[in-house]
Structure 1
């Protein structure tokens, strides 16, 4: 039987995943700044060569355009372009890519232009300077909107590298229902189950109607910490169902649990009021409690849960682990963390939020501690093989 392997790379507060099945390699996200050089590049170099050619990435997928998912990918494409220009072998070849970015939509709404090339990146900063951000600090707003420029830049890089983007999807958007069938490569199949066109249309309307309010909410970390996740880019996360040899994985990006359940129902994988089980579940949004509910953990279950996060922004939040443990008290599963409890306790933001005592309380029993697995000292990743 074909193995399905998810490799979760230490990506600080972001996501960086490699998915393997027989004759198929998929790279999902690249983490924030610094992750490519410190962690991801070595992983790519170590992949088996494609004959006499560099390793092959069958699919590059960027779940959404937030910096903690896209920065490492931009570092990769920058290096690939440099290797091409210098006529040397690249670290990898990429056959195709999936990513959804909405910079052109935002540019039309705001009346601002976007950078046309990496060399013209300064024009993006100039365009952001011209936006009317209302009564709050435009510097904070630039941080929020920077992902717009990153999404645009990725598209330009992929075009320069002659890598197909969303070619198999209607309107070149990787959305639920926009492909006639799941993508297949060797034994692996991937099916995009979210977001839907309806939600993307809602996002566009939301940006057009209430841009300043959205920006202010996203820039206000304290406000966001006490509300459900309504980040525009997070709501647009690509959610993928993966299957190989009867083994399954659900990769959720930073999507909300409620939306994920709706998409699973719409695709017939989750019966109304019922439950669905996966071999692997990549927990949404680095274990933020804003993205999941007890119902989510009761209805969407797995043998292996993956939590990506190093304590920044308080993620993975102890409340999320508590929800999981209480929803599934039998503890007949494994929780894989890219950073261990000691790493979380030592992160200044985790400390600042006063979460150490809450984490210790959640992990107060040996039975709960026993289901945790994280990289050993010096390891840069953790493999989940099913």
Structure 2
């Protein structure tokens, strides 16, 4: 094998010697023509021949010294581009603007969710269903309860606190806004002036009528119990807005009919936007949307007044992956690293630097060889 390699090298060396001889002859010819005759055109042709021989000689020297540099560079570029094309961008930014009937959320473990309203949200009716405690000193109520129903003409909802890590299911329908809380503790505060209160507890049922010039406070709270849920349902003639939710998971599906194990999308319509790559997709009725490892920087729920069967959800945040589209035809919208890099204007300098480095790598050896 060594002899074969040496045998291949000898013709190359011979060619280099012939090119060097040809260059010298062309230079000598150009010198003679300039000194002895006035044939400038012939001298220029001889100089071009000498320059061409020198260029070919330089390229042969470069190739003989570094025979694998160009294939290796092309291979590295191919591997890098393939990697960037195949691997998704980690946690791309996502903007969602949806109209949905239901939403299932998992609160983040960072902090409790707290909603306050001053003055309180005027409501027509509130139902609390589950295992909870009630505390209303002005009404003589203090103890456990399983069901609370209150309605009236002067009734307000002032506070809602849900502990971190809880799982929420939110529905909107003709009977009001329903909030189901799993695996988390809940606290709520009501203020009553002119209202009727019906209470079911371990001591039976009781009805109270409140008519007071000073609002009476009623607090209810449920402890974290993974085996039970707390159901809140309220009806209001005002628009209600919840913001500040920090979540780690979000799903949009509902079981139709109930207990049938048949789940459909709860999305009415909406848009999905990926601002980093300037892409926007429109969702139609019952299109599906799947997010994995979602993390919100801003989440707002807008509930319309009584009678609405859907609510608006605005989400700004990130997710590990994203897919959307009709049932069984969802499209993966997670951008690749190559797509993300292509849309980053601040990386244009890096692209220019790479092109410059490539030019430098391929041309400098030839320049040194000429010297």
TM-score by length of structure 2 reads 0.21
Structure having the higher helix fraction is: 1
Q: Which has the higher contact order (CA 8 A, sep 6+)?
A: 2
TM-score by length of structure 1 reads 0.21
